Amino acid sequence: MKKVFSIVMVAVLATAFVSCGPSAEEKAKMEERAKQVADSIAAAISESMNQVPAETAPVDSTAAAATTETAPAH
């Protein structure tokens, strides 16, 4: 009886290991999703590199205003 039980347990464990893991369809979906994410990241990087340089960017309205007036001499 021990031998039969051992054989059954080996068969159950082998089946469990074989059945685990993604199927071919799931792998294809994961690869497609990874490609979409990579394309999205590449587009975001490309867009950020094409933005207006800091020298010509609009002035921050919350920053302290710079004055050109000079104080009278004492």
pTM, entire model = 0.44
Identify the pLDDT of residue 38. 95
Geometric angle at alpha carbon 44, from 63 and 40, rounded to 5°? 150
Which portions of the chain are predicted below pLDDT 70?
A: 52-74
- Amino acid found at 49: M
How many angstroms separate the first and last alpha carbons of the chain?
Answer: 111
Asked whether 22 and 30 are in contact (CB, 8 A), the reply is yes
At residue 60, the pLDDT reads: 64
